[in-house]
Amino acid sequence: MRTFFALATLALTLGCSRVSPSEARMLVARYNQVVSEAYRKNDVRLIDEVVGPDAPDGKRLLGLIGVRMDMGLILDARLEALEVTGVEQGKEDLEVRTREQWRYRDVSAATGRQVGEASVDHYEMLYRFSYHKGTWLVEETRFTAPPQVGRKEVPWNIDAKDAHGMMSPPVKEGPKP
């Protein structure tokens, strides 16, 4: 609980001043902590405290959490390593580039048992924040390099990259005979 208040205070004090790499790391870590909790609880409302009100990222998370919830699955996501590789700040926007390592596993909401294989993934990410009413909120996250996804299959019939929010290109059909 003490960590939450420290992060909330930090978010309020960073608005007009320059954001250091360590402060940027704390903002990204807080976002990931809240989003991971939303996945674990299948409660997309939790992201409201870290995602901008009209952010594309909110819509993406709504879909990804909703798919798992509809399938009776919970995503147990754990951030294992986070390195800030760049920070660019404007008056009301902030971009943070990171390298990350995550550990994932899908769990049955009914039994609590793991479903499918676990995964250790490596990402290079860009977090785009904007300043709203005294705090930095995420507007968009995206991969800046193809994600290195450990597991090859997810517990439903889609490509593992799609489950991570990086849609696979559509399959082109050849000419019909």
Place 152 in a pLDDT band, splitting at 50, 70 and 90: confident
Q: What is the DSSP letter of 111?
A: T
Which has the minimum average pLDDT: 6-10, 35-39, 44-48, 165-169?
A: 6-10
Place 50 in a pLDDT band, splitting at 50, 70 and 90: very high
Q: Is residue 172 part of a domain?
A: no
Q: Is the pLDDT of residue 3 over 70?
A: no
Which domain range does residue 21 map to? 2-163
Two structure tokens written together for 86? 């760049």
Q: Is the pLDDT of residue 156 over 90?
A: no
Q: Is residue 20 part of a domain?
A: yes
- CATH code where residue 92 lies: 3.10.450.50
Q: Find the mean pLDDT for residues 5-13.
A: 45
Structural domain count, the chain: 1
Residues 6+ apart with CB under 8 A from 153: 116, 117, 160
How many other C-beta atoms lie within 10 A of the C-beta of residue 78?
A: 13
Q: Is residue 171 part of a domain?
A: no
pLDDT score recorded for residue 7: 46
Closest CA to 94 of 146, 162, 40, 20: 20
* Intra-chain end-to-end CA distance of the chain, in Å: 65
Q: Is residue 174 part of a domain?
A: no
Q: Is the pLDDT of residue 17 over 90?
A: no
Q: Find the mean pLDDT for residues 30-52.
A: 96
Q: Is residue 169 part of a domain?
A: no
What is the rounded average pLDDT for all residues in the chain?
A: 85
Q: Is residue 11 part of a domain?
A: yes
Place 24 in a pLDDT band, splitting at 50, 70 and 90: very high
Asked if 66 and 75 touch (Cβ cutoff 8 Å), the reply is no
Determine whether 16 is exposed, middle or buried from the number of CB atoms within 10 Å of its CB (0-12, 13-18, 19+): exposed
Torsion angles phi and psi, residue 44, rounded to 5 = -65, -20
Closest CA to 39 of 4, 8, 83, 77: 77
Q: Is residue 62 part of a domain?
A: yes
CA 85 from centre of chain: 17
Q: What is the DSSP string of 16-66?
A: SSPPPHHHHHHHHHHHHHHHHHHHHHT-GGGGGGTB-TT-HHHHHHHHHHH
As beta bridge partners, residue 126 has 97, 142
Interior/surface letters 144-168, b for 16+ CB within 10 angstroms, e for the rest: eeebebebeebbeeeebeebbeeee
Q: Find the mean pLDDT for residues 105-132.
A: 95
Closest CA to 162 of 171, 111, 133: 171
Give the highest mean pLDDT range of 8-12, 35-39, 61-65, 160-164. 35-39
